[in-house]
Amino acid sequence: MIPIKVAGPTASEPRSPASAALQYLQPGALNLAALPPLSLYVHWPWCVRKCPYCDFNSHEAKGELPEEAYLDALRLDLEQSLPLIWGRKIHTVFIGGGTPSLMSAAGLDRLMSDLRTLLPLELDAEITMEANPGTFEAERFKSYRESGINRLSIGIQSFNPAHLKALGRIHDGDEALRAVEIAKNTFENFNLDLMYALPSQTLAEARRDLETALAFAPPHLSLYHLTMEPNTVFAKYPPALPDDDLSADMQDMIAEVTGAAGYEHYEVSAYAQPGRRARHNLNYWKFGDYLGIGAGAHSKLSFPHRVLRQARFKQPASFIEAAKRGNPVQEEHEIGRADMGFEFMLNTLRLTGGFDPNLFGERTGMNISAITKALNEAEAKGLIYRDHKLIKPTELGQRFLNDLQEMFLAG
């Protein structure tokens, strides 16, 4: 998920039909004919050790984790959010972190029980849990599956011991291989996360990582270019990274090798066997809705005449206390019309196959004429292809995606 900072009014107060009608009459109100699909994101904030490249809301576990108190807070957070999503089904669930595989089997079972008690989950809901190879125990992962997890996402990053050490990972190459074996034997559906353009990595080493992963025939692969994110150790002390030409060669190699293995490159960093696309992430990229619960989690929730963003308190202890007080939401605001086009395109332009232009109106409550000028400019520069049924980034647009997305920022 792309984190977006938010601020504003109180979310725990549902709007009455009268106030919704008043909002509709106000200039600038949106008009959504139907609400988008809704997903749930659950954040587990702890990990064994913070990686030097990581800018997620994760905190090193020191001593015994307050698992019960945190699970209590998650339930409270969800209960307090229910008025905002009343009557809507949950299509997908993603438990991310941090390292959710630090959770005990009993803790995960309790969490899943709470979700089923409070939410109308689709019968075939995709329920994903992130896992770190350094925390794999075969019996615990069988318990996770029995509790309802039906998709695992494993943060391998590399199978090369030297690169794992440079990335600050807590697992080695053998543990990475063992983790994938356990996942393959326990879950029918799983994803492997790999990174490339790593410190001192060669093209041959990047290919070896990818071919090792493909030998397990994972249903889904996420292949990320290592980036220097602000406020990380790598940003402060940058390692020697492959240059732009070598990085581009790695991208070309990935396209060739995954394509030959039968994988669809359907999003900037996502590759899937036919029928195995990540439903949860697709909902983000199609500007769907998601409720985020847990420390630092973000939400995007649509109503007939407004779209709301929220962010929870980031520090686990602050989040737990805020949930007890009755409102763990730290920041909240409605997305204005001026920003809606950019937020929509920021996500949908990541889809290599593009999107139907009608989706813009369905998800934003606005007419696509609101972004016609930027679409014309992007088309003139050869960054997008469009007709009455499709808008998609060209190969050039995919290479310069950040520049393309920025064209839709309000002037």
What are the residue ranges spanned by the domains of the chain?
A: 17-283, 356-411
Please, which residues have CB within 8 angstroms of residue 304's CB and are 6 or more apart in sequence?
A: 20, 24, 30, 31, 32, 35, 365
The answer on pLDDT for 2 being more than 70 is no
> Minimum mean pLDDT among 5-19, 45-59, 123-137, 285-299: which range?
5-19
Q: What is the pLDDT of residues 350-391, one digit of tens each?
A: 999 999 999 999 999 999 999 999 999 999 999 999 999 999
pLDDT of residue 5: 32
Residues paired with residue 153 on neighbouring β-strands, in sequence order: 130, 191
Q: What is the pLDDT of residues 250-281, one digit of tens each?
A: 999 999 999 999 999 999 999 999 999 999 99
Class of 17-283 per CATH?
Answer: alpha beta
Q: Confidence band (pLDDT; 50, 70, 90) for 3? A: very low
pLDDT of residue 18: 29
pLDDT of residue 233: 62
The answer on pLDDT for 17 being more than 60 is no
Q: Confidence band (pLDDT; 50, 70, 90) for 20? A: very low
242 to 50, 199, 247, 249: CA distances (angstroms): 23, 7, 6, 10
236 to 53, 167, 189, 229, 323: CA distances (angstroms): 10, 14, 37, 10, 34
pLDDT of residue 15: 24
Q: What is the pLDDT of residues 91-132, one digit of tens each?
A: 999 999 888 999 999 999 999 999 999 999 999 999 999 998
The answer on pLDDT for 225 being more than 70 is yes
The answer on pLDDT for 24 being more than 70 is no
Q: What is the mean pLDDT of the chain?
A: 88
pLDDT of residue 161: 87
pTM of the model: 0.89
